[in-house]
């Protein structure tokens, strides 16, 4: 009934959580870009950039990046946020004049995200065990068993990403207004 794990001596590699449902991660970007107006739309994001973003999100858990040594990782996330912003709005953080705010506030929010994943709470670990277990559908007696892991994936990924996505949205609202003012003043 089960899949053999003899080759790995019963040890199975961790499976990605954020990559489990990429469409859900894409849908979480909708509120980041909503209300900006103009030609801004989260659906302009390319599949390649979405994959890079999701892979980078999964890296925190898959490579066990330490909270106190996460500056490089956070800077990479900020770089991806800038690339996503450029694809979805045609303007980057520098164009909007918010680069210093991004480097402080968005970096702080992404460090918060790192800490949330880094602590590996029981609910998160049980989800990873469930997703990683090749025999999870038959492991009903295990404490990590979840009949429908997709609901738990959506809940946990949404809750872990809540703060950085909200901060990103607030910064874009401010930056977009500033960029619009600058554009209007160019024509006057």
Let me know: does 65 contact 116? Beta carbons within 8 Å.
no
- pLDDT recorded at residue 5: 53
CB proximity list for 40: less than 8 A, separation 6 or greater: 33, 88, 89, 176
CA atoms 15, 16, 22, 27: torsion sign: positive
- pLDDT recorded at residue 1: 42
State which residues of the chain have pLDDT below 50.
1-2, 184-188
CA-CA distance, 68 to 165, in Å (whole number)? 21
Burial of 13 (0-12, 13-18, 19+ CB in 10 A): exposed
- pLDDT recorded at residue 129: 86
- pLDDT recorded at residue 186: 45
- pLDDT recorded at residue 7: 57
CA-CA distance, 98 to 91, in Å (whole number)? 11
Burial of 145 (0-12, 13-18, 19+ CB in 10 A): middle
**Measured between alpha carbons, how far is residue 22 from residues 17, 80, 103, 115, 183 in Å?**
10, 16, 26, 22, 35
Comparing C-alpha atoms, which of 133, 160, 159, 162 is closest to residue 146? 133
- pLDDT recorded at residue 183: 59
- pLDDT recorded at residue 26: 97
């Amino acid at each position: 009934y089960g899949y053999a794990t003899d080759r790995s001596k019963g040890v199975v590699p961790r499976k990605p959580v954020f990559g489990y449902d990429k469409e859900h991660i894409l849908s979480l970007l909708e509120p980041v870009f909503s209300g900006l107006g103009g030609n801004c739309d989260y659906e302009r994001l390319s599949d390649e950039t979405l994959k890079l973003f999701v892979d980078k999100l999964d890296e925190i858990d898959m490579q066990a990046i330490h909270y106190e040594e996460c500056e490089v990782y956070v800077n990479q996330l900020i770089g991806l946020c800038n690339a996503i912003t450029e694809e979805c709005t045609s303007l980057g953080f520098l164009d909007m004049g918010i680069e210093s705010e991004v480097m402080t506030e968005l970096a702080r929010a992404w460090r918060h995200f790192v800490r949330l994943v880094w602590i590996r709470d029981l609910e998160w670990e049980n989800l990873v065990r469930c997703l990683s277990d090749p025999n999870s559908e038959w492991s009903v007696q295990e404490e990590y068993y979840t009949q429908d892991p997709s609901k738990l994936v959506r809940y946990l990924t949404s809750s872990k990403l809540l703060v950085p996505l909200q901060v990103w949205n607030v910064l874009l609202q401010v930056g977009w207004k500033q960029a619009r003012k600058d554009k209007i003043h160019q024509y006057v």
